[in-house]
Structure 1
Amino acid sequence: MHALPDGWTPGGPLDAGTLRTEYAERPLGTDVRRPRFGWVATAPGYGATQTAYQILIASAPELLTPESADVWDSGKVTSSRTVGVEYDGPPLTARTRYHWTVRLWDGQDLVGPWVAPEWFETALLDEGFAGARWIGGATDGAPLLRRLFAVGGAVKQARLYACGLGYAELRLNGHRVGDAVLDPGFTDYDHTVLYVTHDVTDLLQSGDNVVGAELGRGFFGLTTPNAWRWHQAPWTAEPRLLARLVIEYDDGRTAEVVSDETWQLTGGPTVSNDLYTGETYDARRALPGWDTAAFDDSVWAAASVVDGPRGSLQAQAHEPIRVVETVEPTEVTRVRPGVWIVDFGRTAAGWTTLTVTADAGTAISLTHGETVADGNVVAENVHVEGDRIQRDVYIAAGTGAEEWEPRFSYKGFRYVQVEGTTQRPHVQLRVAHSDVRNVTRFASTQSSYEQFDRAMRRTILNNLHGIPTDTPFMEKNGWTGDAQVGGPTMLATLDLARFFTKWLGDIRDSQAESGQLPVIVPSSGWGFTDLSPATEWPTVYPFLLREMHRAYDDERLLHEHWESLTRYLTWELDRVEEGLSVSVLGDWLPPGYGSGPAPEDRRLTGTAYLYRALIAAAEIGDLIGKPHDYRKAAADLSDGLNRAFLDRESGVYRSGDDPDYRQTSNAVPLAFGMVPEGLVPRVAANLAADVRARGFHLNTGCLGVGVLLPVLTAHGYADVATKVALQRSYPSWLYWFGLGADTMWEKWEEDSRSRNHYFQGTVVQWVYENVAGLRNLDAGWQRILVRPDARDQVSSASIRTDTVRGRVAVTWKRVSRVLSLDVEVPVGTTAEVHVPSAAAADVSAVPAPFAGEAAYVDGYTVYTVPAGLWNFTSRSA
């Protein structure tokens, strides 16, 4: 607990806000048997701390008092914990809504108020799908399934639990159920299958009702031959549905409708659907009203009971994919008769809507791509068979103005080529991605830094579709190396607690019996021998677990993955040769190497990334009390790397077969703490000298790009880092933007095959941590470092981040040599603030009596402060 000066007390009792259960606000349907609770503690004044909490859970909000709480009363628990507080009451009942509240005690043992209650609802738990069966059947289009049933009496509540594979659009009485798309989430279906809970109370009507579903293929039933063999995945099958509708009446009765052979089936107007090739929709086959009770389904076939996937059913916990924005075109150009190119002015992931008036049978195609060449939208994918890529085809019904959008595929694109109509097409962009929260806002007088932030944020979001993908245009695969280098920036930008928890489960599901992990997750089986072993890729597993703990203080995640993690690291260590880890990928796509890595020895980065993974695993083991010897194994790898690649006389890491100096080969050992202590200054100086010699250009690929600028800055070369960041000629980020980029690209070259790829955009982490000056140092933001140490060519910067402990904000502004620094520290966090200055006497703090003693270290006056709003002014910055 942070000690308060004599006579200093917070300005009021502690309150709590932002109540969440399993990181979600009001989760509808959780299968977690001991859910965890979290809140943000708030108080006016300075130095407030939480010393205890009390949680009440009841079956109704009016019962949330210590005298009447009928589910659980935690009692007063002495603890400063505000996240991951685990339920410890009687077993929870399936399909039940629980209400909860909390109150807090502060450092003076003063109790705050009970806060406004929140709720969570359990899903099926051990009850499962009861009598529901998987159903499907052979059809000549995307299957339509429906079931007529009756409702008699006043309905208290109704829940529809459903899993349609690969995707399902659920319908009830003519209305779409929910607003999620491409749902449920993609998994390794041999291990885990996700189902979704829907509140359909308001969609039911007295008398006859119809529940229905249209099913898409997704990665469950993908058929187009492709390099990653998704068409040959062990689970590959035709679409199918599992559903259970539970209706509770006011009088206590319960009725159920479950998927079985009493459902009716037919092929719908979606003739084909594929994640890579697109969709064909024949509007002449549409069946208006098929999802209503009045529709005559007498010619439909009976659904067949089919085998379900092998994976265990779990309630979907991560955010669904949603359409988050609709965008109008910026330009529509007729390039030749019947051919139009639509420019949306931005690179996105999603699809287009089409509104058209045409004769029956008219086929209108929409081809989506990121670039235009020779009067055509470029839509090529060498990894997928056939010449149809990202192309939707709409066949008109001839009924007047017709509007359509696809349901079972998404594309990466900026441009759409529309063919088959002489009329100027009316199309809109529907931006769709996992609906995660933005948590960070950044601003600066250096507009290029703001441009980096916008582009990286957009690129990350464009690659979140239930898994973190590499590109929505080319592959749509969960490359582990991309998340490895991008993870810290992603976690600093967005709330990914639920999203990455889900994907870490996918990693565990993908593990082979040997302990090996593939380079893409999920995997059809591809990536164990294809482009593998590549140590720098699957070592994301321990690294991301540690980063999740750092961001969200999530200890349960560490316990759940420890056994799989240790099996994986055993596999990695067993293949170490002469102190080095063999890797086939290395620093992917540096400048001038547009199809792979530079000629540097890939064992260098492979060994370094395994070293960092072992250090992360050692920290995890310490946290959860598991014995290990990972630090010794890491030390052996460090020794091996330095023996093989470090020229001690010159202070340079180099490969025997590579005559050039590689910035990645030197920046990575510096960043990971592998350089012998006495040689650190020389290795760093050589790195800075190489950057200068190249005219302040980088020569890094995806592994080195994220560490280069932070390493330069940490070793006193912030001016060099800044010149690299603001470089405008090739290779650089501003080179891309000079070519019209609005997202990060895969390659530094103008002919980059993907223009929606985040792994080269990790400069944003440096912008946040070194320009704005905010760094998270400890689990759940308990300790932060404020140190704006990259201030060249910028006169102000600000960042604010909504963490699990509340709002953290840093704003600095410099006028001449006077720098003003404002810092917002939430309850439960301690900030170490480094104020640039020539001497400690040049710095003043407000409120002065409460800032404590300051130290002066290497050009910074250093304060350690608790919760509160702080201002520091330096007269010699």
Structure 2
Amino acid sequence: MPALPDGWTPGGPLTPGTLKTEYAVRPLGTDVRRPRFSWVATAPGYGATQTAYRILVGSEPGAGDVWDSGKVPSSRSFGIEYDGPALAPRTRYHWTVQLWDGLDRVGAAAEPEWFETGLFDEGFGAACWIGGANLLRKAFTTDGTVKHARLYASGLGYADLRLNGQPVSDAVLDPGFTDYDHTVLYVTHDVTELVQSGDNVVGAELGRGFFGLATPNVWRWHQTPWTAEPRLLTRLVISYDDGRTVEVVSDESWRVTAGPTISDDLYTGETYDARRALPGWDAPGFDDASWSAAAEVDAPKGTLQAQAHEPIRVIETVEPTAITEVRPGVWIVDFGRTTAGWTKLSVTAEAGTRIRLTHGETVADGNVVAVNEHVEGNRIQRDEYIAAGNAVEEWEPRFSYKGFRYVQVEGVTDRPDLLMRVVHSDVRDATRFATTQSSYEQFDRAMRRTVLNNLHGIPTDTPFMEKNGWTGDAQVGGPTMLAMLDLARFFTKWLGDIRDSQAESGQLPVIVPTSGWGFTDLSPATEWPTVYPFLLREMHRTYGDERLLREHWDSLTRYLAWELARVEDGLSVSVLGDWLPPGYGSGPAPEDRRLTGTAYLYRALIAAAEIGEIIGQANDCQKAAAELADGLNRTFLDREAGVYRSADDPDYRQTSNAVPLAFGIVPDELAPRVAANLAADVEARGFHLNTGCLGVGVLLPVLTAYGYGEVATKVALQRSYPSWGYWFDQGADTMWEMWEDDSRSRDHYFQGTVVQWLYENVAGLRNLQAGWERILVRPDARAEVDSATIRTDTIRGRVSVSWKRVGRVLSLEVLVPVGTTAEVHVPSASASDVTAVPAPFAGEASYEDGYTVYTVPAGQWNFTSRSA
């Protein structure tokens, strides 16, 4: 951290806020034995630093009767482990923190927050897994004043839980999807307000999810090692004011019956027969004498673990933009946007009327297109509702979601009444971006929507077709996703899924979780599972999470050993490569895929070497990476021409050149020539790209880094095929899988990584060091843009960059949080053309390559350049 000028006093004292435990505000039911605390320190003025902290953990707000850390000299404000006596299960703890600044001034303690522990070793006690039907209920009574009540539950694949006729939470498609042979998630619900005096009923309706998926499909989800009928495990713990505790657990005393949901499937949809509905089944007073006794069923093999990532929720409800009767009795409802979720139906119809709702992203020949060549049968994304004939009936599915913009409605004579329900993991926005270039804002909105539509407990490839966690998609999209959203909990969960999916040999599949598919199918595909070390490193850079690195080190090194054992002649073999470049249909790129396979393994080894250094684990990853770079350059680099190519190339391949440049594989003396040839090819194509999913994210940053920012800008703003603009001129509101206008998926984020360039080069904000300790501010792609603003809520606090140009005068504002140092590059013809406020400033500004460079500590800084 740079020193302040003589006579300056840091603002203060420090105020801690945004207190989190394990990245969550008030987590209910954590199984982490030594949870980690974090906070954001703020202070007025400039140069504030945190020099010490004191954490108090108590049984009541503000108390320190459980643990008092004492004054700990440290600037760290996240990842700080609880270090007191062993925590008790099912217990709420309160905590607060106070901070000392650079002048050793202590501030007021933060407003206390809390966390609550889960079951730990207690587990579910006397509860057993039960099943036998999709509706289950248990009546019980209470006889006192309830102090608090917690329902611990796991329903596989999904459980819609009720207490006295009310939902126990607003989560849907819960619990999260895992490899059930390794991990099974349970959820804690605070049901204190739902328990009533006297008679009560706890109920559940079960859905299949990926646990009991039955429709034959190419990924073999219907034949997993765990495939079975749905089942339920619950433990309801009720504590009374007088100190008594009683429990209601799942066992054979529960009652079960078949409900109105006739079928549910993630690919085919749901059928609901309202004539079979049982009003009041989940409330006291209902006669369940005709129901059967629940059957005890086998427990899944996986270890029960508290769900820590954000639940899936209904995020938004959207009205249609158009409803058209395309032929008698057939209606197409257009919601004007592409989403993941489902529709809510309101209808008045005679008993037995079957209403079909077919969901899809496109319309052709008067029909919504709902075709999935990977799933058997002719029913895809179709819900069916059979009316009861009871005046106005309302229904929405609960155990499947669809990717769609349009819905084809059949079986009603009147104009259908339908609402779109937007459904995805409820992760928090981290970044807001704005600019005078409308296309860039359109890209940002589309990519954000696309990413969110593909977050359902795992990062999927498309909500319309597959719903699979393709590792390659997260590989290329990860940096953009982490920049855009708070994914600390989400990606921590999925990294656990990756570890669970690992074979004894160390190999990883191309989809995670997996049924077993993806080890020999589409394998080897090095560019895909090498997401493992890369994402671990990116998580550390974003959140400073060292525990995550330690937890995964053994699995990570086993995986890399498997990859290295298959290297031939210094190269890694791959069957996928730069997937879906323009002009090559729905398959791989034409070039030799060993080039990208080797490059991605090289980057994975560099990431692993960095991880090993951080956690103090010696390794040979750097040496192995250097050998791969030598093999790649020896085989594919034409040193005389300054071009990477293979014998399979039909023409110049941009990805083959952009990826080695981006990953630092190109020899230093040749890098400028390779970059110049790349820029020349882009220009020769009329400023079009020819990249697939691997090259698209690195092309524009590489061009900009080597001084071709205007070339990158022309590619970004291109409107003709292939380009992002071409999609939007075709009516896109999300990113597509393919560059062609007949793209089979129109909700696919792996070609939309242009947004990372918008954030880092147009707005000009880059994270350089773990946990945002050091940032670079350098707006170096300013062509066709008059202003840009980015605001990011980081693990240390808010960072913002805003610049505006009027004529040759550029104004730049930078907000730096406590604990972060910013290297600010102000566009200018000379250092004398730049004014910094406040001034005087510690240290002299330097000048290099068209930028005046400052290094600044925490505070709000303003720079004016008169020659930008």
Both proteins in one fold, TM over 0.5: yes
Cα distance in structure 1, aligned partners of 2:706 and 2:588 = 27
> C-alpha displacement at 1:2, in angstroms?
3.4
> C-alpha displacement at 1:296, in angstroms?
0.1
* Counterpart residue type for residue 534 of structure 1: A
* Counterpart residue type for residue 99 of structure 1: H
After the TM superposition, which residues 167-178 of structure 1 pair with which residues of structure 2 at under 5 Å, given as runs? Answer: 167-178=158-169
Cα distance in structure 1, aligned partners of 2:515 and 2:156 = 16
Give the match's secondary structure for 1:633: helix
Cα distance in structure 2, aligned partners of 1:369 and 1:478 = 20
* Counterpart residue type for residue 70 of structure 2: G
1:509 aligns with 2:500: yes
Contact kept in structure 2, 1:852 and 1:865, CA below 8 Å: no
Give the match's secondary structure for 1:257: strand
Cα distance in structure 1, aligned partners of 2:122 and 2:65 = 22
Give the match's secondary structure for 2:670: helix
Q: In structure 2, which of residues 248, 253, 264 is the aligned counterpart of residue 262 of structure 1?
A: 253
Cα distance in structure 2, aligned partners of 1:224 and 1:98 = 45
Q: In structure 2, which of residues 602, 607, 610 is the aligned counterpart of residue 619 of structure 1?
A: 610
Cα distance in structure 1, aligned partners of 2:543 and 2:649 = 42
Give the match's secondary structure for 2:824: strand
Give the match's secondary structure for 2:325: strand
Contact kept in structure 1, 2:130 and 2:233, CA below 8 Å: yes
* Counterpart residue type for residue 513 of structure 2: P
1:858 aligns with 2:853: no
Q: Report what 1:128 is aligned to.
A: 123
Contact kept in structure 1, 2:2 and 2:855, CA below 8 Å: no
Pairwise CA RMSD: 0.6
1:111 aligns with 2:106: yes
Q: Report what 2:31 is aligned to.
A: 31
Cα distance in structure 2, aligned partners of 1:364 and 1:206 = 41
1:679 aligns with 2:681: no
1:639 aligns with 2:630: yes
Contact kept in structure 2, 1:23 and 1:38, CA below 8 Å: yes
Q: In structure 1, which of residues 474, 482, 491 is the aligned counterpart of residue 473 of structure 2?
A: 482
1:526-571 deviation per Cα after TM superposition (whole angstroms, max 9, x unaligned): 0000011100000000000000000000000000000000000000
1:327 aligns with 2:318: yes
Cα distance in structure 2, aligned partners of 1:801 and 1:773 = 12
After the TM superposition, which residues 706-721 of structure 1 pair with which residues of structure 2 at under 5 Å, given as runs? Answer: 706-721=697-712
> C-alpha displacement at 1:850, in angstroms?
2.7
Contact kept in structure 1, 2:159 and 2:175, CA below 8 Å: yes
Q: In structure 2, which of residues 53, 56, 67 is the aligned counterpart of residue 72 of structure 1?
A: 67
1:734-773 deviation per Cα after TM superposition (whole angstroms, max 9, x unaligned): 0000000000000000000000000000000000000000
Contact kept in structure 2, 1:845 and 1:851, CA below 8 Å: no
Contact kept in structure 1, 2:5 and 2:842, CA below 8 Å: no
After the TM superposition, which residues 382-397 of structure 1 pair with which residues of structure 2 at under 5 Å, given as runs? Answer: 382-397=373-388
Contact kept in structure 2, 1:365 and 1:420, CA below 8 Å: yes
Q: In structure 2, which of residues 136, 156, 170 is the aligned counterpart of residue 145 of structure 1?
A: 136
> C-alpha displacement at 1:851, in angstroms?
5.2
> C-alpha displacement at 1:8, in angstroms?
1.3
> C-alpha displacement at 1:657, in angstroms?
1.9
1:710-736 deviation per Cα after TM superposition (whole angstroms, max 9, x unaligned): 000000000000000000000000000
Q: Report what 2:16 is aligned to.
A: 16
Q: In structure 2, which of residues 211, 214, 229 is the aligned counterpart of residue 220 of structure 1?
A: 211
Q: Report what 2:788 is aligned to.
A: 797
Contact kept in structure 1, 2:4 and 2:842, CA below 8 Å: no
Contact kept in structure 1, 2:225 and 2:515, CA below 8 Å: yes
Give the match's secondary structure for 1:567: helix
Cα distance in structure 2, aligned partners of 1:443 and 1:389 = 38
Q: In structure 1, which of residues 579, 589, 608 is the aligned counterpart of residue 599 of structure 2?
A: 608
After the TM superposition, which residues 176-195 of structure 1 pair with which residues of structure 2 at under 5 Å, given as runs? Answer: 176-195=167-186
Cα distance in structure 1, aligned partners of 2:576 and 2:588 = 7
1:82 aligns with 2:77: yes
Cα distance in structure 2, aligned partners of 1:116 and 1:173 = 35
> C-alpha displacement at 1:598, in angstroms?
1.8
* Counterpart residue type for residue 568 of structure 1: Y
1:660 aligns with 2:655: no
Cα distance in structure 2, aligned partners of 1:257 and 1:135 = 14
Cα distance in structure 1, aligned partners of 2:224 and 2:11 = 61
1:798-843 deviation per Cα after TM superposition (whole angstroms, max 9, x unaligned): 0000001000000000001000000000000000000000000000
Q: Report what 1:198 is aligned to.
A: 189
Give the match's secondary structure for 1:187: coil
Q: Report what 2:518 is aligned to.
A: 527
Higher alpha-carbon deviation: 696-705 or 3-12: 3-12
Q: Report what 1:241 is aligned to.
A: 232
Q: Report what 2:97 is aligned to.
A: 102
1:770 aligns with 2:765: no
1:110-133 deviation per Cα after TM superposition (whole angstroms, max 9, x unaligned): 111111100000010111100000
Give the match's secondary structure for 1:721: helix
Q: In structure 1, which of residues 414, 417, 421 is the aligned counterpart of residue 408 of structure 2?
A: 417
* Counterpart residue type for residue 850 of structure 2: G
* Counterpart residue type for residue 193 of structure 2: D
Q: Report what 2:537 is aligned to.
A: 546
Q: Report what 2:717 is aligned to.
A: 726
> C-alpha displacement at 1:678, in angstroms?
0.8
> C-alpha displacement at 1:597, in angstroms?
1.6
Cα distance in structure 1, aligned partners of 2:564 and 2:142 = 61
Cα distance in structure 2, aligned partners of 1:768 and 1:256 = 52
Contact kept in structure 1, 2:534 and 2:607, CA below 8 Å: yes
> C-alpha displacement at 1:852, in angstroms?
3.2
1:368 aligns with 2:350: no
Cα distance in structure 2, aligned partners of 1:56 and 1:94 = 19
1:145-171 deviation per Cα after TM superposition (whole angstroms, max 9, x unaligned): 000101110000000000000000001
* Counterpart residue type for residue 545 of structure 2: D
> C-alpha displacement at 1:593, in angstroms?
1.0
Contact kept in structure 2, 1:439 and 1:801, CA below 8 Å: yes
Cα distance in structure 2, aligned partners of 1:595 and 1:13 = 59
* Counterpart residue type for residue 293 of structure 1: P
Q: Report what 2:587 is aligned to.
A: 596
> C-alpha displacement at 1:402, in angstroms?
0.2
* Counterpart residue type for residue 49 of structure 1: T
* Counterpart residue type for residue 285 of structure 1: R
Q: Report what 2:464 is aligned to.
A: 473
Contact kept in structure 1, 2:11 and 2:47, CA below 8 Å: no
Q: Report what 2:554 is aligned to.
A: 563
Q: Report what 2:243 is aligned to.
A: 252
> C-alpha displacement at 1:5, in angstroms?
2.0
Cα distance in structure 2, aligned partners of 1:497 and 1:599 = 37
Give the match's secondary structure for 1:678: coil
1:444-465 deviation per Cα after TM superposition (whole angstroms, max 9, x unaligned): 0000000000000000000000
> C-alpha displacement at 1:334, in angstroms?
0.4
Contact kept in structure 2, 1:167 and 1:216, CA below 8 Å: yes
Q: Report what 1:753 is aligned to.
A: 744
Q: How many residues align?
A: 868
Cα distance in structure 1, aligned partners of 2:843 and 2:816 = 15
Contact kept in structure 1, 2:775 and 2:823, CA below 8 Å: yes
Give the match's secondary structure for 1:570: helix
Cα distance in structure 1, aligned partners of 2:571 and 2:288 = 66
